[in-house]
Amino acid sequence: MSVVLVEQDGPVGILRLNRPEVLNALNSAVMEALADQLTRWDRDPAVRVVILTGNDKAFAAGADIAEMAERTPVEMLQSAQITRWEAIRQFSKPLIAAVSGWALGGGMELAMLCDLIVASETARFGQPEIRLGVMPGAGGTQRLTKIVGKMRAMDLVLTGRHITAEEALQWGLVNRVVPVEQYWEEALKLARSLAAGPPLALALAKEAVLFSLDSTVEDGLKFERKVFALLFASEDRREGMAAFLEKRAPQFRGR
Ligand code: CAA
């Protein structure tokens, strides 16, 4: 059985982590499968949005501790893992995390790499690496701090405590929290609505928001102005504006 199940629901690609016996711990095979499939789907115009999910009990309980336990520093530094995280980061289309149960350590970092998070009420988030004698190593000190601010990041990173979906919602770490029976439908509904959107504008809007994390406001505004103007070259912006004026639904084709 594959460690990541790959499915497609029309324009929505679905990646389902599938190591339930270890709460979807992220080993090399999982990260390789995720990076490879996202790289493939990035080039495939038939896929417009991707949902990354686990099962009701666990999104992912972090990096695979059994795999990590005997690693040397040099192996950690040279591991292909870094390029795999990078491949996920570079995915240009909307990426939604549908999170239920545990999202810890690398699992929480993976969810934070996504653009939107739909969580079930049972979701639990945390960066417990400190309890293993290490610290977050895939964005838990950087992306997390950008999302929730210094004090909250310190709270999670230094104590290793878990927070509930409700607290994560209050902190702005997740977008929606729904009962466990509904999180998958909610994520799918969100994915389908984005999939009906203009692909080029979605990709550039995503890039511009992410650009703001690493740039000054001045540089970000320059970038925004340019990509905004660039979209006026697309057929989809003609279609979007014409459809509005003609009072009909637009048909976006990604051109
Ligand atoms: N790696 C490997 N195996 C894991 C795992 C992980 N991260 N998390 C859980 N498992 C395994 C357990 O060893 C156990 O296996 P066995 O049945 O063979 O004993 C199985 O999954 C079920 O786990 P538990 O029995 O522990 O389940 P629980 O309900 O009692 O506890 C839990 C759940 C609180 C999530 C607990 O499993 C736990 O604390 N897991 C580790 C979480 C963690 O520390 N994550 C950070 C990893 S480091 C990291 O991610 C680095 C980074 O930044 C990239």
| Residue 132 confidence (pLDDT) | 97
Average pLDDT of the segment spanning 191-214 = 97
Ligand 1 closest atom vs CA 105: 50
The residue count of the chain comes to 255
The closest alpha carbon to 168, from 211, 117, 93, 221, belongs to 117
Neighbour tally for 73: CB within 10 Å: 7
Q: Whose CA is nearest to atom 41 of ligand 1?
A: 61
Ligand 1 closest atom vs CA 62: 50
User: Which residues carry out catalysis?
Assistant: 63, 106, 109, 129
Q: Whose CA is nearest to atom 14 of ligand 1?
A: 22
64 CA → ligand 1 middle, Å: 8
pLDDT above 70 covers a percentage of the chain that reads: 100
| Residue 83 confidence (pLDDT) | 87
| Residue 1 confidence (pLDDT) | 84
| Residue 19 confidence (pLDDT) | 98
Q: Which two tokens stand for residue 19?
A: 């190591």
**129 contacts: CB under 8 Å, gap ≥ 6:** 62, 105, 135, 136, 137, 140, 157, 160
Name residues contacting ligand 1 (CB within 6 A). Answer: 22-23, 25, 61-66, 102, 104-106, 109, 128-129, 132, 136-138, 140
| Residue 87 confidence (pLDDT) | 94
Position 8 pLDDT exceeds 90: yes
126 CA → ligand 1 middle, Å: 12
Position 81 pLDDT exceeds 90: no
90 CA → ligand 1 middle, Å: 28
Mean pLDDT of the chain: 97
Q: Which two tokens stand for residue 159?
A: 């104590």
For residue range 41-57, what is the model confidence (pLDDT) as tens digits?
Answer: 999 999 999 999 999 99
For residue range 231-242, what is the model confidence (pLDDT) as tens digits?
Answer: 999 999 999 999
Helical (H) or strand (E) element with 98: strand 95-99
Q: Whose CA is nearest to atom 10 of ligand 1?
A: 22
Position 80 pLDDT exceeds 90: no
Neighbour tally for 100: CB within 10 Å: 25
Tokens 């637009």 sit at which residue? 250
The Cα–Cα gap between 162 and 132 comes to: 15
132 CA → ligand 1 middle, Å: 11
Ligand 1 closest atom vs CA 106: 50
Q: Which two tokens stand for residue 106?
A: 């690398």
180 CA → ligand 1 middle, Å: 21
CA 63-87-91 angle, to 5 degrees, is: 115
Task: Name the band, by pLDDT with cuts 50, 70 and 90, for residue 184.
Answer: very high
Which of 71-80, 108-117, 209-218 comes out lowest in average pLDDT? 71-80
**Alpha helix segments (H runs only) across the chain:** 28-42, 65-68, 73-78, 81-89, 106-113, 143-148, 150-159, 165-170, 183-195, 199-214, 217-230, 235-245
Strands of 124-126's sheet, edge to edge?
A: 58-60, 102-104, 124-126, 162-164
Strands of 4-9's sheet, edge to edge?
A: 4-9, 12-17, 49-53, 95-99, 116-120, 176-178
The best mutation among 23, 112, 161 to test binding of ligand 1, ranked by most ligand atoms within 8 Å of the C-beta, falls on 23
Ligand 1 closest atom vs CA 124: 35
Position 228 pLDDT exceeds 90: yes
Query: Residues 234, 201: contact at Cβ < 8 Å?
Result: yes
For residue range 122-137, what is the model confidence (pLDDT) as tens digits?
Answer: 999 999 999 999 999 9
User: Global pTM?
Assistant: 0.96
Position 77 pLDDT exceeds 90: no
Ligand 1 closest atom vs CA 66: 2
